[in-house]
Amino acid sequence: MVKTPDELALMRISGKLLASVFEMLDGQELAGMSTMAVNDLVDHFITVDLAARPASKGQYGFKYVLNCSINHVVCHGVPDADAMIRDGDIINLDITLEKNGFIADSSKTYIVGNAPAAARRLVRVAQEAMWKGIGAVRAGAHLGDIGFAIERHAKKNGYAVVRDYCGHGIGREMHEDPQVLNYGRPGRGMQLREGMVFTIEPMVNQGTRKVSTEDDGWTVVTDDRKLSAQFEHTVAVTRDGVEVLTLRRDEAPMLDRRA
């Protein structure tokens, strides 16, 4: 649960490499690509360009390197050669990477082309909610502080937070203790300690927070088929606050907007 300084140094490497995967994707024209084509592009980039391992591949029997969740798909969308990304979609790409025995996990919801204003607003608020949660991280705070900050921001903007899925500890294993819920009460839950590493990953819905899993056993969708957006980062608790291990270069200004 608590990482040593040497372990944290290795996790920084994994996090930086994973950030570069998203920076590569930022330069892609997603409209017109199949989700399988995106999967294969990321697979090649991680294994060949970065000499790392896509940690999701083979995890729990999953065959692919990423989850791709379009529009009303909340999470765990499965790549498919027949599933095309279209102008106006929003798509969450959730990717893991292992290097030197340590795993980083991050996701981003992309706005594809001319998405409606309502979809763009949802994506913006979901990203803000993640940063509200990150802003609550510091040694001595509680897990409930993170969840409270996330849900308060989402509800203030008229959205619901999915409660069925949450963040998690991470390190040598993809899923470690503790669970990091996206709702909670201030001052409740486990107290955070310097060196703890976990993910913060709110899933924010336009309508109901209720979700269902489709027949493939993976794909999770909103019950009302309204849109869902997700963002995720791997973070470390520091003496003075938080370090975002998967921070992308374009996100540096967000560090000043956490409160």
pLDDT in tens, 85-114: 999 999 999 999 999 999 999 999 999 999
- The residues, any chain, with a CB within 8 Å of residue 66's CB and separated by 6 or more, are 38, 39, 42, 54, 56, 79, 93, 94, 95
Among candidates 67, 255, 95, which has minimal Cα distance to 174? 95
d(CA 144, CA 27): 37
Strand order from edge to edge, sheet including 73-75: 73-75, 220-222, 211-213
Give the pLDDT confidence score for residue 252 in this predicted structure: 72
Reduced 3-state DSSP string for 155-218: HHCCCEECCCCCEEECCCCCCEEEEECCCCCCCCCCECCCCEEEEECCEEECCCCCEEECCCCC
Give the pLDDT confidence score for residue 239 in this predicted structure: 87
Instruction: Evaluate if residue 254 carries a pLDDT over 80.
Output: no
- The residues, any chain, with a CB within 8 Å of residue 222's CB and separated by 6 or more, are 72, 74, 205, 206, 207, 208, 210, 211, 228
Percent of the chain beyond pLDDT 70? 98
Give the pLDDT confidence score for residue 255 in this predicted structure: 66
**Which residues pair with residue 203 across a beta bridge?**
230
- The residues, any chain, with a CB within 8 Å of residue 221's CB and separated by 6 or more, are 72, 73, 74, 211, 212, 213, 214
3-state secondary structure of 130: helix
Among candidates 248, 251, 243, which has minimal Cα distance to 21? 248
The predicted model scores a pTM of 0.96
- The residues, any chain, with a CB within 8 Å of residue 206's CB and separated by 6 or more, are 118, 122, 159, 222, 226, 227, 228
**Which residues pair with residue 176 across a beta bridge?**
169
Give the pLDDT confidence score for residue 233 in this predicted structure: 98
Overall average pLDDT of the 51-60 stretch: 97
Instruction: Give me the chain's average pLDDT, please.
Output: 96
Overall average pLDDT of the 178-195 stretch: 98
**How sure is the predictor about 257, in pLDDT bands with cuts at 50, 70 and 90?**
low
pLDDT in tens, 106-144: 999 999 999 999 999 999 999 999 999 999 999 999 999
Q: Cis before residue 54, ω within 30 degrees of 0?
A: no
Give the pLDDT confidence score for residue 258 in this predicted structure: 54
